[in-house]
């Protein structure tokens, strides 16, 4: 799937997500916020000028967002997480926010009561989709905004040409997501839990964490 598909899951299926910022002392703060809009490479949420959250966004315009959806129980869940830069874009998109999220009129019924609201856009950053409802597990990284085409920042464990093909890493891999048909062996990034067992087990130091 593409960035826009993951952002759509965040807006439509998750909708209420946890957003973290840092306070004036540099300590983490998290709260539930609705993802109101999404486009090709960004998401939008709103908050009121009087909130601590607003102050923190203005002081340090970075957020980490995480939310999950799916059926009952951990093994039916999928999560979308993003982190990146955020900017205040004023009230211009408020009519669109209220248009696409009619329940907002129950919380802020009169036009006048919406005065305090402003829209924030997460416009650049990176994200990850993690799906526990399939076997093997599925994960994918994606980029937002400017960094969208940049795949050089892919995080994970990689087997280098120091690999002797001994397969010890495979024996320790909980998802058996290492391709044994080639040398050096190759980790299937889409199915890797990032547990690090392979790196710890490799007697040749052939596994790198990036
Ligand atoms: C389901 C749900 C959705 C919420 N959505 C928003 C939202 O979109 N914008 C907002 O400002 N507050 C929203 N809130 C309220 C905030 O979580 C709450 O005001 C929080 O205290 C704000 O963080 P702060 O205390 O750091 O300012 C929501 C709460 C819930 C339970």
Could you tell me if 115 and 151 are in contact, meaning their C-beta atoms sit under 8 angstroms apart? no
pLDDT of residue 151: 58
Kindly state if the Cβ of 21 falls inside 6 Å of ligand 1.
no
Model pLDDT for residues 138-197, shown as the tens digit of each residue:
999 999 997 655 556 678 999 999 999 999 999 999 999 999 999 999 999 999 999 999
Output the CA 182–ligand 1 centroid distance in Å. 50
What does the pLDDT average to over 8-23?
Answer: 98
Domains annotated for the chain, with CATH where assigned, are 3-149 (2.30.110.10), 157-209 (3.30.70.20)
Q: Which atom of ligand 1 is nearest to the CA of 29?
A: 26
Which of 71, 77, 27 shows the shortest CA–CA distance to 52? 27
Of 23, 27, 34, the residue with max ligand 1 atoms within 8 A of its CB, to mutate for a pocket test, comes to 34
């Amino acid at each position: 799937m593409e960035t826009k598909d993951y952002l759509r899951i965040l807006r439509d299926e998750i909708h209420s997500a946890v957003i973290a910022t840092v306070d004036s002392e540099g300590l983490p703060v998290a709260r539930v916020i609705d993802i109101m809009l999404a486009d090709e490479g960004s998401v939008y949420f709103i908050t009121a000028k009087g909130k601590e959250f607003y102050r923190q966004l203005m002081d340090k315009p970075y957020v980490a967002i995480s939310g999950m959806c799916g059926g009952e129980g951990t093994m039916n869940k999928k999560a979308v997480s993003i982190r990146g830069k955020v900017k205040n874009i004023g009230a211009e998109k408020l009519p669109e926010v209220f248009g696409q999220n009619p329940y907002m009129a129950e919380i802020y019924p009169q036009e006048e009561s919406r005065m305090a609201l402003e829209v924030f856009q997460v416009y650049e950053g990176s994200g990850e989709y993690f799906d526990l409802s399939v076997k093997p597990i599925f994960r994918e990284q994606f980029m937002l905004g400017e960094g969208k085409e940049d795949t050089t920042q892919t995080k994970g464990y990689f087997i280098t040409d120091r690999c002797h093909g001994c397969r010890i890493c495979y024996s320790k891999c909980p998802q058996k997501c290492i391709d044994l048909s080639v040398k050096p062996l190759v980790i299937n990034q889409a199915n890797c839990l990032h547990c690090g067992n392979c790196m710890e087990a490799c007697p040749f130091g052939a596994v790198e964490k990036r």
